[in-house]
A and B are shown apart, each in its own frame.
Chain A
Amino acid sequence: MPRPLWTGSISFGLVNVPVTLYSAERDRDIHFQLLHAPDCSPIETRRVCAQEERPVPWAEIARGYELEDGRWVLLSDEDLQAAAPRQSRTIDIERFVELKEIDPVYFDRSYLLVPADEGAARAYALLSETMRDSGKAALGRFVLRAKERLVGIRVREGALTLTTMLFHDEVRSTKEIAAEIDAAEPTREEVECAVAVIEELGVDFDPESYRDEHRAHLQRIIKRKQQGKKIPVPATPAREPVTSAPDLMGALEQSLARIRAKTAEKKPTKPTAQKDGARPSSRSRRESRQPTPRA
């Protein structure tokens, strides 16, 4: 069982649902340790007081905020708690909205909510079943690690799943980027052909079918190095020549022909049937890839 990060309760009207919060993320990254090159011993980061020139234990570290006049205000954990608008052991549901209305740009980190004890299981089941049936997401606020967060909660695989959200002023405007786009509107023919390519490559989103091959590749590199083998460092690939006037229509038609030829070739094997077979469609696509301008 992973470690719980927080225990409190969801408040839904006057109903309280005691819950425990777990991170929904699992770190699968390959981590490196910084070493001292000559002796391969680990490097430690030491916190040193710049004034006294001596190492400072973690307990003596405070959060400093610099005022405009250059003075520093030091804050303790208790100070941060005092700024929380309510004493927060609750996730307050304020609204219910359609999940699809929330632009994904607002989503930050995700967590799972689990009933805190057996007594809470009934209220939890009531809330999660009601939300599942309504298809809606709850919007609320709560305080985690002394910071208040806007959160969206919905049911995923039977469990209440919480995602922290950004505030609207933390999302950048696209105006400046959009203003720089220097091209006429694409023709109707081009758009229709591009949509046809999209439809040909349309699938039901199947997250299990994508594996992190980069991670596996890095693991192989580490293994080779451990065996004393040389790691070939690939030359920087020549960048595909980009032209100022690409033949978009020609490229779209070629793409369509190619995808359709591949689909016809693949038909008898019924690609969607093998779910655990790790990306049937993209693998076969790769194997049958014809020379592209990149190669």
Chain B
Amino acid sequence: MPRSLWNGTIAFGMVRVPVKLYSATESKAVSFRERHSSDGAAIEHRRICAKEDREVPYSETVKGFEVSSGSYVTLSKEEIAAADGPGARMIEIEHFAGREEIDPVYYDRAYHLGPGKFGDRPYRLLHAALERSDRVGIGRFVFHNKAHLAALRATDEVIALHTMRFADELLSPGDLDIPAPQRKPSKPEVAAARSLVEQLSSSFEPHTYEDTYRDALLKLIERKAQGEAITAPEAEQITPADDLLGALQASLEQRSALEQRSAH
């Protein structure tokens, strides 16, 4: 059994669901440590008091919020935690929304929930009801002294919790300068682009995507360990798309040629 990260209660109307939180993801990225390039030695991070220029133990430190340049208000751990409020161990479901209404841009981290003590029956009930209604519960979740909007949804077997970003934590396309085209795409261009989208359409099969970079990186590390010199390939040139229609038609022809070949 994985270790739970948090214990709390979901309030679903008057129903209380004691739950435990588990991480739903684990990074498989190749991770590195900082080393000194000249002698390969380990790099240590030390806390230095800027004024006295000496190392200080963690016990002598305090958290400060800079109110004006160089001037801090200090807060104890308890004072920072006071912002959590009394409901910090409770996720109250405020609303239920359709899953498809939530754009991926809102999703932050994913967790799995399991039942907490005496939580098995209400947990199964909430899971069944979420599954049946095809809706996602929206509530708030305070974790590590930060509040998140949270989405609760039924997966095949368990309830998943996604922390979500608040709307003001996101950049809207309106905040960026997106140049409008001088000439709108022509009808034949739109038709050709549509056909290409159709040709490339399929269902999403996560298992068909492997992290090939991870493997390539591990192989490269092996080569380097044997003393081989590594050279990066030249950067490729990108040709701008002046003749959109020509490029689209060529893509369509290339695709159908590929398909014919694989059909034989």
Contacts and interface: CB of A to CB of B under 8 A. Distances in A.
Contacts of B247: 13-16
Interface of chain A: mostly helix, strand, loop or mixed:
mixed
Contacts of B115: 180-183
B61 A43 contact: yes
Given A1-B177, A242-B18, A25 B169 contact: yes
A270 interface: no
Interface string B78-98: 111111111101100111111
B261 interface: no
Contact of B32 (A50, A60, A64, A136): A64
B29 A174 contact: no
Contact of B37 (A50, A62, A157, A203): A62
Interface string A17-54: 11000111111111111111111111111111111100
B125 A248 contact: yes
Given A13-B254, A174-B155, A248-B121, A218 B83 contact: yes
User: For chain B, what secondary structure do more than half of its interface residues adopt (helix, strand, loop), or is it mixed?
Assistant: mixed
Contacts of A97: 201-204
Among B15, B49, B135, B196, the most chain A Cβ lie within 10 Å of the Cβ of B15
Given A168-B206, A168-B209, A221 B75 contact: yes
Interface size band for B: 35 or more
B27 interface: yes
Give the interface size bracket for A toward B: 35 or more
A213 interface: yes
Nearest to B123: A181
Nearest to A67: B225
Contacts of B56: 36, 43
Interface in B9-63: 9, 12-16, 18, 22-30, 32-52, 56, 60-63
A103 B16 CA distance: 27
A63 B32 contact: yes
Contacts of A169: 28, 211
Contacts of B102: 104, 205
Contacts of A102: 104, 204
25 contacts: A16-B239, A17-B241, A24-B171, A35-B74, A47-B34, A49-B43, A63-B33, A65-B33, A74-B37, A85-B213, A89-B236, A110-B104, A122-B185, A130-B190, A130-B194, A163-B104, A172-B22, A172-B112, A182-B115, A186-B121, A207-B166, A210-B140, A221-B82, A233-B81, A255-B15
